Amino acid sequence: MAQRCILKCLKDLHAPIVLSNGRNCIIGRSRETKIKDKRCSKSQVELLADYSTYTVTVRQIGANTSGVNGKPLHFGNTSVLKHRDILEVAGYDMDGTLITTKSGRVFAVSTDDWKIIFPEVPGKLKQLHKEGYKLIIFTNQAGIASGKSTASDIQKKISNIISALGVPMQALVSTGKGPYRKPATGMWEFLKKEANGGIEIDLQSSMYVGDAAGRPAEGKKKKDFSSGDRLFAMNIGIPFFTPEEHFLGVKTQKFNMPEFDPRTVNDSVSLFDPPSTKVPKHELEVIVFVGYPGSGKSFLASTHFAAAGYVQANRDTVGSWQKCISVMEKSLQEGKNVVIDNTNPDVESRQRYIVAAKKLKVPVRCFVFSVSKDHCRHNNKYRTFSGANHENISDMVYNMYKSKYVEPTLKEGFDDIVKVNFVPSFRTAKDEKMYKMFLLEK
């Protein structure tokens, strides 16, 4: 009798699929399988039957995970099926988190719009509780502050989830975008000081599991929406695991760290490059700053340059670039050096001051702040969290600067171009500790 290998639907929703010996067969969402779930790709898994060993090798090629005998099969991974093994082409819920919406929406449409993804979760949480672990939910819910959700709805949803998990848990909720929002450690500090009943936390035995892990896109699987959970754990100083790593035992998953790492900021570098830069250099001069908001321009102008007798011209203070030029011209006529403390990203914005200074036969130097966009965004967050009195800067402002930026050259009419390095200065050890934490989610 001729050998034959078939893939049979346990619910008899479609006719058996014959797998030919040594020939690849790709199945997924189609008329043949009767699968309509859009989380299942049209090319979900690749099957290769080997009649000599009575096995079928299955490779996951769709974006969302399939299952083999109740265990996940991730994108690019393979598994070997034997007689009566079960392949879950669709319906194996696996998208990198413990809780997802029933509706398939990114955000829940009601307090009941949720489900636990991994069947292993309740049992493993109960085992951790039995071993003496305290189980805590840390969750960012800025929608409460913005009015998109209510505290009572979030409380009801969390209570329902804890009830379904069947194990005692404590939930700490950040309702805004301040220092209590992950990856900042405000919720953790609150736990240690007020919400843990005076019991000291054993960091060496603690762990954090989260889905905002900075994992890149792979195949059709989207990248993580942020790195907030991983960075939160790093700020605290405890081991981090993705849900798949902790609950399903998969190998460590790939992830990307942020481009800016606050732990690497060096306060021993020279302020100027070249280090021999003189302030002032000429008997009378104008210095034009170039740099992102939050790069330290105003601080340097009001300290280092003010101490050297420079008059500061800033649009935020006087109101317009035209008034900055008026301040510059008046100061130069009075024999005073001037620093133009604006972002000045492009040639046009810088030419205004070069032309006006040259008419008075005054040399112009350019000081470019060597501080990246994300470093400046970090500085902005730090100033907000540390209580500094300044206006919050939106990402739109940073993006606008980046889109306009043209690197300054001597051809523009500058007599000299100097690089300014970021050299941090802290009032207290507490301030320095906060600064060297990850404050940006992505």
Residues 275-333 pLDDT 10s: 999 999 999 999 999 999 999 999 999 999 999 999 999 988 888 999 999 999 999 99
pLDDT tens, position by position, 357-369: 999 999 999 999 9
pLDDT digits (tens, 9 = 90+) for 19-44: 999 899 998 888 888 887 777 888 88
Determine what percent of the chain is predicted with pLDDT higher than 70: 92
Closest residue by Cα to residue 373 from 251, 263, 258: 258
102-159 per-position pLDDT tens digit: 666 656 666 676 667 667 788 889 999 999 999 999 999 988 888 888 999 889 888 9
Tell me which of 344 and 2 has the higher pLDDT: 344
How much is the pLDDT for 423? 93
Q: What CATH class is the domain 272-435?
A: alpha beta
Q: CATH 3.40.50.300 region(s) of the chain? A: 272-435
Residue 291 vs residue 219, higher pLDDT: 291
161/174: higher pLDDT: 174
Residue ranges of the chain assigned to CATH 2.60.200.20 = 6-88
For residue 241, pLDDT beyond 80: yes
Please tell me the predicted confidence (pLDDT) of residue 367: 98
Q: Which CATH number fits domain 99-247: 3.40.50.150, 3.40.50.620, 3.40.50.1000, 3.40.50.450?
A: 3.40.50.1000
Question: Which residues of the chain form CATH 3.40.50.1000?
Answer: 99-247
- Write down the CATH number for the domain with range 6-88: 2.60.200.20
As a whole number, the mean pLDDT across the chain is 88
Quick one: pLDDT band at residue 210, thresholds 50, 70, 90? very high
Q: pLDDT confidence of 237, banded at 50, 70, 90?
A: very high
Is pLDDT above 50 for 74? Answer: yes
pLDDT band with cut points at 50, 70 and 90 for residue 438? very high
- 410: pLDDT strictly greater than 90: yes
High-pLDDT (> 90) share of the chain, %:
57
pLDDT for position 114: 66
- On whether the CB atoms of residues 368 and 291 are closer than 8 A, the answer is yes
